[in-house]
Amino acid sequence: MCVRRCVITVGDLGEFGVVNRITAQLPQGDAVMLGPGDDAAVIGAPDGRVAVSTDLLIEGRHFRRDWSRGYDVGRKAAAQNLADVAAMGARPTALVVGLGLPADLPVSWLDELTAGFADECGVVGASVAGGDVTRCDLVVLGVTALGDLGGRAPVLRSGARPGHVVAVAGRLGHAAAGWALLEAGVSVDTPGLRAAVAGHRRPCPPYASGAEAAELGASAMLDVSDGLLQDLGHVARASGVRIELDPAAFTVFTTAEPVAAAAKELGADPLEWVLSGGEDHALAAVFPAEVSLPESWQVVGRVAEGSDVVVRGREIGHRGWDHFR
């Protein structure tokens, strides 16, 4: 079999002792044909196409070091990028990481960050192929994920059609509930509250469900990073349709122990977190109505003629995260 290759520029890794420290601790997956040590990495691309996604995480906006350990930040940074690749129906293969680090950052924090990247990549058999580092006043991470489509067509946002059903795989509301608890400064002293905070610090995307949805014939898909309402709005606009959600279908999410416990503690509406909270990195997909969905997918609504996303019988004030709102 001829294995095609993708050359990725990842900076001059040999100049930076800190990067050598990081890359020495990171295992290399089977897709990485040439890893750290040269001016570029070489990634195998058997499909001939490469799914690519990138994200920035900035201290104080996307994470706080007084709320999250380096390990949690590494897991979170890797997860949100790997989930984007999975949402296209691809298998994540590699990450490239750019780091901005304060001069006084403890080495132990950096080691934890590295371990977090390694462990999250290990969940899907991917690896960190290289990266670059510079001095910065805050911790800044620029992460690019690569994935292999395995011969399948990518699942876009533009394929939803009237009569299709909308389904979700993974968790909703955990990250938003955890953030609300941390922001309120409440004592997190029960298993449910601790699990909610853990959901904010370390999402658990349903990676395998991406390829599963593609094989089932999903007509549209994305990962839920900015809130289900906001993200499904991208599908509605790209597909030129209206998405109608059934609030009763979200009971499985609103009654999950972390979400329910946090809502009780703060006197909040758990449905608001489930519909508008981001960073759980669940997968939301649209399927033809005749597709028999496995238990990993929860049907939450349907596609109709029209535009926008609506929740039947409910007014939702906050629709999700917008970086510039």
Q: Is 55 annotated as a binding residue?
A: yes
Q: Is 148 annotated as a binding residue?
A: no
Q: Is 47 annotated as a binding residue?
A: no
Q: Is 157 annotated as a binding residue?
A: yes
Neighbours of 189 (CB within 10 A): 7
Q: Is 119 annotated as a binding residue?
A: no
Q: Is 38 annotated as a binding residue?
A: no
Q: Among residues 258, 282, 285, 284, which one has the least CA distance to residue 270?
A: 258
The DSSP annotation for 210-259 comes to: HHHHHHHT-SEEEEESS-HHHHHHHHHHHHT-EEEE-GGGGHHHHTSHHH
Please, which residues bridge with residue 144 across strands? 54, 96
Q: Is 104 annotated as a binding residue?
A: no
The DSSP annotation for 121-177 comes to: HHHHT-EEEEEEEEE-SS-EEEEEEEEE-TTPPPP-SS---TT-EEEEES--SHHHH
**Orientation of helix 70-86 relative to helix 191-201, angle to 10°:** 70
Q: Is 233 annotated as a binding residue?
A: no
272 phi/psi in degrees, rounded to 5: -60, -45
Q: Are 78 and 175 in contact (CB under 8 A)?
A: no
Residues belonging to the binding site for substrate are 62, 279, 321
Could you list the residues known to form a binding site, using ranges.
39, 53-55, 62, 84, 131-132, 157, 223, 225-226, 279, 321
Binding-site residue positions for Mg(2+): 39, 53-55, 84, 132, 223, 226
Residues belonging to the binding site for ATP are 131-132, 157, 225
